[in-house]
Structure 1
């Protein structure tokens, strides 16, 4: 190989590596969504349930506040409302992925007071997610149940990716449910 062809080969390899790294970063962060509609596989998310010692309306208000009301500073770092209607918002959800990365998903969030909040993914690391929070009044307070479905494309490769995304997604939801529980119970004591 001549010096010139070696330099060309190195430049080509560096270019491919840069594109691959950028594509991976875009996929992980949700900035480069892949929605091919080919080889779509759907898997369940949840169910996750939490019992909350607070009235159903109070729990609903805690869930809806960052979207329909005034969000706390901590919530503004996690949720940014892009467009607001009377019973639905378009919101960006920001999830840290370590110290350098963050995933940004954009979802519609629909509110059916006092017992349901529905989420539908518009942009994110996978092409399809629908989720719901359902609230049921119980003797000791409220039962909050999370359920959803996550879809990926490209058969086996998509299934692998969906498993990775679902694990992080469900961990994020579990943390949100715990946060809702803590805040609703705190408010119920006031």
Structure 2
């Protein structure tokens, strides 16, 4: 069993929070879902982003997602992998210096990191994408380039792996995204 840290926040994308959390629990990993300024048992409000033929995604109210751990108690050295969710939350989470330090720790130690959609904004702000190839929601692509990374445009159902990092543009990529993260963790599933 591995111990995984999942960083989320208010108005994170619903599926990008709930699905990785539940799938990682399903395969037997311990997952600490955290948000700065909140404690175990507190909730974050999520948002559902959908693709309905508009020029960008639509946004609707999601669920109240209960956090499983207290952010202030996080010690990155206690974790085997990191999940950074997307949605609106990364806009403000990337302003938190402890969030950035946590992200840098996982990259410095070459530990598995999964980031999806707008979650890549946290990686660009942390300064960890230089020299890497990754994907993100297309509107985040210019940030990847400005941060020294190579933005790879892929369909939303796909993911990109570069070393210890797996990224995907959006929740339709969950099957490949989560499989790649499990592979990076060394998780074996027997059927």
Q: Structure 1 length normalisation: TM-score?
A: 0.25
Q: Which has the larger radius of gyration?
A: 1
- Higher strand content, 1 or 2: 1
Name the one with the larger helix percent: 1
